[in-house]
Amino acid sequence: MQYVNLEEIQLIEIPKITAPDGRGNLSVVEKDVLPYQIKRVYYLYDVPSDSTRGGHAHRELQQFLIAVSGSFSVVLDNGKDRKTFLLNRPNKGLLIPSGVWRELENFSAGAVCLSLVSEEYDEEDYIREYADFKSVKRS
Ligand code: T46
């Protein structure tokens, strides 16, 4: 599994179209925003503020997370370093490459985490034990 430089991971701006007549905003994720074709969409909601989601890495799956409502934090870990991102805008997303451990925490009331991913669901793609993740990273 390749080394991932966390410094190269940044929030990505999603184009926003503001209605000129005060009817609000529309953001669109088109093919030039992501380096993969979206194969699956899922979303987390009604997450208690003291709960943590994630707590795993993916072998192949790439993922784009958006706080379409509310806010939450994403802690990324490449096996060596950790970096925390606050997602709190519906027009900013976090592109997570494969091979990165992630934990989602501090969900605000009403937060919705939208996830646009590169693969179909496959439990074999998950590394759910941190010790296993560390040993895969070392090898
Ligand atoms: C991720 C974070 C942000 C399915 O049956 N189909 C699916 O497409 C998904 C995503 C999950 N599931 C089942 C598997 C588990 O029995 O739903 C249950 C909860 O999944 P999990 O424990 O993986 O949930 P999270 O919130 O910890 O992780 C999910 C995604 O699995 C993961 O890719 O990065 O959201």
Residue 120: give the domain boundaries: 6-138
Mean pLDDT of 109-137: 97
Task: Tell me the percentage of the chain whose pLDDT exceeds 90.
Answer: 94
22-39 pLDDT per residue, tens: 999 999 999 888 999 999
Dihedral sign, CA of 29, 14, 70, 76? positive
Residue 98 lies in a domain: yes
| The pair of three-digit structure tokens given for residue 93, joined into one six-digit string | 């997303």
Number of domains in the chain: 1
Q: Is 56 a catalytic residue?
A: yes
Three-state DSSP state, 16: strand
Mutate to test the pocket of ligand 1, among 43, 74, 121 (most ligand atoms within 8 A of CB): 121
Instruction: Provide the CATH number for the domain around residue 52.
Output: 2.60.120.10
* Residue 41 pLDDT grade (very low, low, confident, very high; cuts 50, 70, 90): very high
Residue 48 lies in a domain: yes
In eight-state DSSP terms, residue 7 is: G
Residue 47 lies in a domain: yes
Average of per-residue pLDDT values in the chain: 97
For the whole model, what pTM was predicted? 0.96
Q: In Å, how far are 32, 64, 73 from 14, measured between CA atoms?
A: 10, 11, 18
Q: How far is CA 37 from the centre of its chain?
A: 16
pLDDT at residue number 31: 82
Q: How far is CA 48 from the centre of its chain?
A: 18
Shortest CA distance to 78 belongs to which of 2, 4, 132, 136?
Answer: 4
Protein residues whose CB sits closer than 6 Å to any atom of ligand 1: 40, 42, 44, 53-54, 63, 102, 104, 115, 121
Residue 12 lies in a domain: yes
Residue 1 lies in a domain: no
| The pair of three-digit structure tokens given for residue 113, joined into one six-digit string | 């985490």
Which DSSP string do the residues of 47-101 spell out, in sequence order?
--TT--EEEEEESS--EEEEEEES-EEEEEE-SS-EEEEEE--TTEEEEE-SS-E
Tell me how crowded residue 25 is: count the other CB atoms within 10 A of its CB.
10
The one catalytic residue among 1, 14, 56, 83: 56
74-96 pLDDT per residue, tens: 999 999 999 999 999 999 999 99
